[in-house]
Amino acid sequence: MRKVGIWIDQKEANIITLTKNAIHSKTIYSDVETRIRLEGEKKQFGRFGDQYLVDEKGKKNRINEYTHKYLNRVLKELTKADEIVLFGPAQTKIKLEKLISTIPELAIKMKDMKTSANMTHNQKMAYVKDYYKNN
């Protein structure tokens, strides 16, 4: 029985796997950059005559694309899981839960989603152990 706990935020995902005899941890880092500045860029806008051009839509699309790729890398790690619990401080866990719910094989394995603060690695591992011990 592989019980998996995932602590996730926009920067990284810690995948903690409990098996009968051991506990394993894997970290997946995202490539999501919220403050992208191109080399040589002076201002956050370009000026064309009396008009200003702000590339907010392009930056938002870029962030969404990188987030989608990041969540898909996390999903690949869940194929062998028997039970899944998500926890973390940010909105990324909600996006991952929605993505999991679109895949029937993973949706039935999804047990819970909790909001938690930032934690150390040992606290994350203890949280997953305690969660499965008590549930």
Q: Comparing 35 with 56, which gets the higher pLDDT?
A: 56
Domain range summary for the chain, segments of one domain joined by +: 3-134
Give the pLDDT score at 110: 94
Question: Structure tokens of 44?
Answer: 């956050």
Backbone angles phi, psi at 79, to 5 degrees: -65, -30
Where does the pLDDT of residue 17 fall: very low under 50, low under 70, confident under 90, or very high at 90 and above?
Answer: very high
Backbone angles phi, psi at 67, to 5 degrees: -65, -40
Per CATH, which fold does 3-134 belong to?
A: Nucleotidyltransferase; domain 5 (3.30.420)
